[in-house]
Amino acid sequence: MNRYPRQRTTARSWAREKLFLGQSLTEYMEGLVTPFNLIAELIVIVGLVLLVIRFTQGLGAVTAASQDQPWGLLLNWGLFSGVPLSASGFVLGTAVYLLGLKKYHPVVKNAILVGFLGYLFAVIFLLVDLGRPWRLPYPMVMSFGTASVLFLVAWHVFLYLSCQFLEFFPSVAEWGGWRNLRRWALAPTIGLTIFGVILSTLHQSALGAMFLLAPGKLHPLWYSQYIPALFLISAIAAGLCMVIFVSFLTQRFLRDQADSNYLASLNGITLGLGKAASFVLITYFGLKMIALAQGDRWDLLNTPYGYWFLTEMIGFVLLPCFLFVFAVRERSVGLVQFTAILTIVGVIINRFNVSLIALNWTLPQREFFNWKESLIVIAIITMQILVYRWIVNRMPVLREQPEYKTEPLDVEAGVLVQSGG
């Protein structure tokens, strides 16, 4: 007779501690009334209204899509920009778990979470654009087109999203207090990391390979046989810079959720990632110049598109490269953080150029996107930020749980040895 009330009390206390941050439901709801939350709520409500219009009246009701230019802001931001910005997981996972760079271990869980949410919301953007969520698995299982680049991208993103969820699951298990489940989840870490690197390499380059099929549609300054490699290299730079940028934001706005080890290590980690980013950017710039030389398109530089191309290359590739070198030499963490933001903007501009601005460049009239579409994008980004904040406020992403700090992990079981971060 007494067992069931006791179980209900335990479940209630677990929900209070894990979901409501140790507060009652009333206290928790009152704490949500902040200027940030109210603005975010308004943005999300507007976005949801527009999403209802999109799914009831069609894509044309909220976008400027046409037969000549079917890709709009939903795909250009959500897929072509969102996926490279989500490369943080495979970049940091490779550094920590495969290359043994333990210096970066304090930020690896955060990098994996950023990558996982980035891919998850890229799929959401894709679903909004396609309009039939129930047919999401169709290109993967019904239309088995192994010669299709989109078929490969669909499978790669699905598998990598699953892979990143499994990589992040130990943090979920720690949050839930499931010690045995956490131990099982940690066992395949090395294997998951290797699998994730393979998948990331394939689908980041496959996104670029899609444009190899459109030599007449993509402007010659951006079209190249090296575009798959260029997409992969720029994604690595984006992943490194996203870790720098998000780490800065957590240090500023989520400081109370981080432990002393995380906060104390951020400056050194930021400088190290900035140094790595400079090498990646100069590699990207060199390959881009080789592609330009092989195409012999130098004369196009003295055109409006050429001026924009030079702006992208000099202002958002070469300049950040030198700024990273200078900042690391001077040990200026703030300049590294600023340059990381500049690089992220540059990657976004490049993806917009390739998939929107320089695509179908010969059309006489083009409307890039509709204002309603931009509001949908802002609303989904806001949802992504809210989900990220919800997870970080509850799960050990920026901190190590005290009860797990002294629990070493067996390298032979496939996991890097940890000792308090």
DSSP for 235-292? HHHHHHHHHHHHHHHHHHH-GGGS-HHHHHHHHHHHHHHHHHHHHHHHHHHHHHHHHH
pLDDT of residue 416: 43
Quote the crossing angle between the two packed helices 189-209 and 149-176, to the nearest 10°: 150
Instruction: Kindly tell me the burial class for residue 122, based on how many C-beta atoms sit within 10 Å of its own C-beta (0-12, 13-18, 19 or more).
Output: buried
Residues shown for the chain: 421
Distance (Å, whole) CA 195 – CA 153: 15
For residue 273, count other CB atoms closer than 10 A to its CB.
28
- Compute φ and ψ for 187, nearest 5 degrees: -55, -45
Tokens of 290: 């080789």
pLDDT of residue 177: 84
Pick from 106, 94, 91: nearest CA to 267:
106
Tokens of 76: 């250009």
Instruction: Work out whether the CA dihedral 417, 279, 343, 199 comes out positive or negative.
Output: negative
Residue 359, helix vs strand vs coil: strand
pLDDT of residue 21: 82
Pick from 301, 309, 304, 250: nearest CA to 285:
309
Angle among Cα 397, 403, 408 to the nearest 5 degrees reads: 85
**Cα distances (Å, whole numbers) of residue 202 to 156, 214, 224:** 7, 20, 18
Contact residues for 245 (Cβ-Cβ < 8 A; gap 6+): 337, 340, 341, 344
For residue 390, count other CB atoms closer than 10 A to its CB.
11
Residue 398, helix vs strand vs coil: coil
pLDDT of residue 144: 62
Contact residues for 186 (Cβ-Cβ < 8 A; gap 6+): 170, 409, 413, 415
pLDDT digit of tens for each residue in the chain (421 aa)? 444 444 454 667 777 888 888 888 888 888 889 999 999 999 999 999 999 999 999 888 898 877 777 788 998 998 899 999 999 998 999 999 999 999 999 999 999 999 999 999 998 998 898 887 777 777 667 666 666 677 777 787 888 889 999 999 999 999 988 888 888 988 888 899 999 888 888 888 888 988 998 888 999 999 999 999 999 999 999 999 999 999 999 999 999 999 999 999 999 999 999 999 999 999 999 999 999 999 888 999 999 999 999 999 999 999 999 999 999 999 999 999 999 999 999 999 999 999 999 998 888 888 888 899 999 999 999 999 999 999 999 999 999 877 766 454 443 334 444 433 3
Tokens of 114: 């950023």
Question: What pTM does this model have?
Answer: 0.90
Contact residues for 309 (Cβ-Cβ < 8 A; gap 6+): 221, 222, 300, 301, 353
Residue 22, helix vs strand vs coil: coil
Structural domains present in the chain: 39-399 (1.20.1630.10)
pLDDT of residue 225: 92
Distance (Å, whole) CA 171 – CA 174: 5
pLDDT of residue 270: 97
